[in-house]
Structure 1
Amino acid sequence: MIGILIGCLTLVVVGWAIVKGKYAPLVLFASGAFMLACAVFFDTGTFMPKKALPTGNDYLNIIEFIRYMFSNRLAGLGFLIMTMVGFASYMTHIGANDAFVNIAIKPLSIIRNPYILIFVAFMLGKAVSMVITSAVGLGVLCLALMGPALAALGINKKAIGAVFVTSGACSLVLLGGSTVASAKACDLSILDYVFLFKIPAGIPTVLAIGLAHVFWQRWLDRREGWNCEEHKGETLVFSEDVKRPSTAAPKIYAFLPFLPMVLVVVFSQYCISSIKLDITALMLLCVIIGMVCEVIRWRGNYDKIAAGLKVFLQSMGKALSGVVALVIAAGVFAEGFKALGMLDAIVDVAHNVGAGAVGMSILFVAITTLVTIIAGSNGASFYPLVEMVPKIARDMGVNPVTLVLPMHQASTIARPLSPVAGVVVAIAGMLQMNPFELIKRASVPCIVGLIVHHVSVFWLAI
């Protein structure tokens, strides 16, 4: 009982710290170490993995456990995330992402109906999200590129902002840090997690969000007395200079950001099963291919090639201090949570009230959504919780996908509902509008997305 009480109080403190914008990895490391120390003192549970080296002292074992987490996560999941982030930054540096975006926005010029255009613009934003995984970067870039064209057709700037603030909602990215962590928690390969569950559940969700935008933006426009015909030809003026894609990179570079997604399928049981290529090695191969393209493009200019490699390595370092540190800290936090007996208590409560997979999934989604809205970050809400899922799923005898995937996507779908989320603040600032007005415009599409996605996951998991 004492362990559960300490765990609940720690959760309150952690929630308060995240709301106050404190550095999440430090919050999770400190709270996790505290809970582990309490577990030792009150003898509520063990936490040392078999591969860790006992120190001979229970309290010093906490330090050894943290060392083990760094060693274990950096060598596997952490290094993979670092290479993914480095690859994405390298693609931006060489102009490959811009080359794709320049091609993607062309369909806008052939559509004239403003509300159909809202749907198309959202779908184009989702297409761009496949190569630009930063929610802020994605939203700002899409707004800078497509916003003026939408405004010229008379579309309300509030609707334009809402479309692009939700561009990152319900991620369909094949390779990403949260996707890798989710697949691991479900004990599935990345391909199986993505192609059997993530994308099949994501496609109807994306379509539902897009359609919800059409009807919700139209209803709000009519309520505000906005007539698109009366506003045709208007210009969209941003409050600050924004980056526009360069046209310097060759058009063929538009394929490079998708290369990892193609090769991960090619070198798998679905295609060439004789070649076994680790996903991290595959990411490094894609970077090398990109560098070869740069060698040809710049005719062997050493400084150009070296600058690209420097961007790749520096981005890996930034990922270590950001997402990777959060993943490792979340592991320490989750282990402390577990050692105090909190997970067993949650499972017992679920069994006693008759809440099976559906009930637990709704609970996790509700917590993830709430934390995402409060903190404005999908990582702070997702990584600590996903660490706890495998044990809960085993103890309840349910498919871990039914717990992980709804929570995974809820962390992205709920982000546009947070007034402190980077993408909300950035787009509201560019359009010189109140963030809460932007959230209002994004609210119904996001709520529809949460519901449709949850239903889709359980339909797939049956």
Structure 2
Amino acid sequence: MAILGPFLSLLFIFLVALLLLKKYHPHAVLLIAGLGMLFISLLLKNNLPPLKNPTGFSGFDLFAFIKESFSSTNAGVGLMIMAIGGFVAYIDKIGASNALVYVAMKPLSFFKKQPYIAASLVIPIGQTLFVAIPSAAGLSLLLMAALFPILVNLGVSKLSAASVITATTAFGIGPASAITASASSIIGTESVNYFVNHQISLVIPLSISMMITYYFVNRHYDKKNGFEKPTSTYTNEKINVPLIYAIIPIFPIVLLILFSELFSLFPSPIKLDTTTAMIISLFVALLFELIRTKNLKDVLESMKVFWNGMGNIFKTVVTLIIAADIFAQGLISLGFIDGLISLTQQIGFNATGIAVVMTVMIYMASILMGSGNASFFAFGPLVPKIAKTLGVESTTMILPMQLSASMGRTVSPVAGIIIAVSEIAGVTTLQIVKRNSIPLTVALVVMLIFHFI
């Protein structure tokens, strides 16, 4: 019976992949598959994920999972994504995105002949920002507002621009990262020490490998798909708003960096989350519009664009994230993670072999569940015991496992970051995953070689 659950979870994974490839509605496929796995787990008397407010009847509890997923998602990452989506819609409507492109295109005109170099340079820049803004979906959508139109105007396709932007969050590093906090806690060290002495030295060669592979992969696929560079740019076109509007798209990023742990500008620390930064930036944009138009009624009316943008993101992105969450809970309840762990223990490899296998397994689990946190939190706590048994340092095993978790999320078609970016870019999740798969697989191999050999 112990092997039945993991076997059934693999069967569900195959069926879901088949239906998604046949372009069935992904929200419904993931949600129904997740409920199906939870129902089978109930029949098998497996431990279901805990509910904050159980109904008292296990049959109704299956649907209570959906309610609680809605509640937790909408109160956290869902609200953040909706706020960013509304802000992106608003700055596009008032012309702030065009102003940013116009201003940025002049100093970046050097890259007009080499746009794919510019796209690759987004990776280390974004990775640096990710240390200060440790929200994968949040940072990616901020970069979609600030950098996506610039990259497209330089001469890369929307798909290429979206792919490098998602790649900026491929490594969950830095003291503020949830995965870093968990990893450092497991091995008993400070987050800052773990970041400075272990993460940075390994991430640098990985970032370089990704810059190189993304350059060739995006250039190859754009050429193969018949993409043609835009014939006009904002360097020679007039815009209808003041150039100062160019600061509006990047204002949230500036706020989040200034009020992050990287700076200590005030005696009493001021903490600013992404959602609050987006709301502040919205009102800054409204103030700009009021000064420019001097028409209070029209400015207040323009907030409809923000609300509509939030609504569009909710119905397309947030609901899909919730469906993917139910799917992940179903996999866990059927013993998918436990099955992988059991397989690892039965292989009989040495310390390096087990670390490599577990790193790859976490990578694959993140792809399937769309969450780096979920896969790492399931495997990570096992490291100290395994490391002690094999006589190796926990850090040696946990570092590549921790990085592979966020790397796998970057090639997952059900990850929130991929879903959100694909919606704004106007491409499919599978298209982004296809672009990301080669560079992230190369980075995974480079990491294993660099760390263990």
Q: TM-score, normalised by structure 1?
A: 0.67
Q: Percent identity?
A: 23
Deviation at 1:5, TM superposition (A): 2.6
Of residues 8, 22, 25, the one that matches 1:23 is 25
Aligned to 2:405: 404
CA distance in 2, matches of 1:108, 1:343: 47
Distance 1:207 1:340, change over 3 A: closer
Of residues 323, 335, 341, the one that matches 1:347 is 341
User: Any conservation in 1 of the 2:366–2:374 contact (CA below 8 Å)?
Assistant: no
Aligned to 1:390: 377
Aligned to 1:232: none
Of residues 291, 297, 307, the one that matches 1:302 is 297
CA distance in 2, matches of 1:313, 1:365: 37
Of residues 269, 272, 281, the one that matches 1:277 is 272
User: Any conservation in 1 of the 2:30–2:326 contact (CA below 8 Å)?
Assistant: yes
1:45 aligns with 2:56: no
Structure-to-structure mapping, 1:189-208, within 5 angstroms: 208=209
Structure-to-structure mapping, 1:407-446, within 5 angstroms: 407-411=408-412
User: Any conservation in 2 of the 1:29–1:329 contact (CA below 8 Å)?
Assistant: yes
| Alignment deviations for residues 197-229 of structure 1 (CA, whole Å, 9 cap, x no partner) | 999988766655555577789999xxx9xxxxx
User: Any conservation in 2 of the 1:80–1:279 contact (CA below 8 Å)?
Assistant: yes
| Alignment deviations for residues 151-204 of structure 1 (CA, whole Å, 9 cap, x no partner) | xxxxxxxxx66xx6422334379899x99xx9556657xxx99x9899998876
Aligned to 1:11: 13
User: Any conservation in 1 of the 2:84–2:141 contact (CA below 8 Å)?
Assistant: no
User: Any conservation in 1 of the 2:179–2:376 contact (CA below 8 Å)?
Assistant: yes
Distance 1:357 1:43, change over 3 A: same
Of residues 127, 133, 138, the one that matches 2:144 is 133
CA distance in 2, matches of 1:251, 1:294: 13
CA distance in 2, matches of 1:133, 1:457: 31
Distance 1:393 1:210, change over 3 A: closer
Deviation at 1:345, TM superposition (A): 0.8
User: Any conservation in 2 of the 1:170–1:205 contact (CA below 8 Å)?
Assistant: no
Q: For 2:144, what is the secondary structure of its paired residue?
A: coil
User: Any conservation in 2 of the 1:82–1:317 contact (CA below 8 Å)?
Assistant: yes
Structure-to-structure mapping, 1:288-299, within 5 angstroms: 288-299=283-294
User: Any conservation in 2 of the 1:260–1:286 contact (CA below 8 Å)?
Assistant: yes
CA distance in 1, matches of 2:249, 2:450: 32
CA distance in 2, matches of 1:258, 1:199: 26
Q: For 1:21, what is the secondary structure of its paired residue?
A: coil
Structure-to-structure mapping, 1:51-66, within 5 angstroms: 52-66=52-66
CA distance in 2, matches of 1:285, 1:291: 10
Q: For 1:43, what is the secondary structure of its paired residue?
A: coil
Deviation at 1:267, TM superposition (A): 2.3
Deviation at 1:458, TM superposition (A): 9.8
Distance 1:453 1:253, change over 3 A: farther
Q: For 1:47, what is the secondary structure of its paired residue?
A: coil
CA distance in 1, matches of 2:72, 2:280: 23
Aligned to 1:360: 358
Q: TM-score, normalised by structure 2?
A: 0.68
User: Any conservation in 2 of the 1:170–1:410 contact (CA below 8 Å)?
Assistant: no
Of residues 431, 436, 451, the one that matches 2:442 is 451
Q: For 2:298, what is the secondary structure of its paired residue?
A: helix
1:72 aligns with 2:72: yes
Deviation at 1:331, TM superposition (A): 1.8
Deviation at 1:344, TM superposition (A): 0.8
Amino acid at match of 1:260: P
User: Any conservation in 1 of the 2:101–2:234 contact (CA below 8 Å)?
Assistant: no
Amino acid at match of 2:239: T
CA distance in 1, matches of 2:200, 2:344: 29
Of residues 330, 350, 368, the one that matches 1:336 is 330
1:169 aligns with 2:163: yes
Distance 1:326 1:117, change over 3 A: closer
Q: For 1:66, what is the secondary structure of its paired residue?
A: helix
Report how many residues are paired. Answer: 389
Q: For 2:163, what is the secondary structure of its paired residue?
A: coil
Q: For 1:264, what is the secondary structure of its paired residue?
A: helix
User: Any conservation in 2 of the 1:410–1:450 contact (CA below 8 Å)?
Assistant: no
Distance 1:125 1:218, change over 3 A: closer
Q: For 2:161, what is the secondary structure of its paired residue?
A: coil
Distance 1:207 1:306, change over 3 A: farther
Deviation at 1:131, TM superposition (A): 5.0
User: Any conservation in 2 of the 1:39–1:340 contact (CA below 8 Å)?
Assistant: yes
Q: For 2:56, what is the secondary structure of its paired residue?
A: coil
1:119 aligns with 2:117: yes
Distance 1:204 1:132, change over 3 A: same
CA distance in 2, matches of 1:332, 1:339: 10
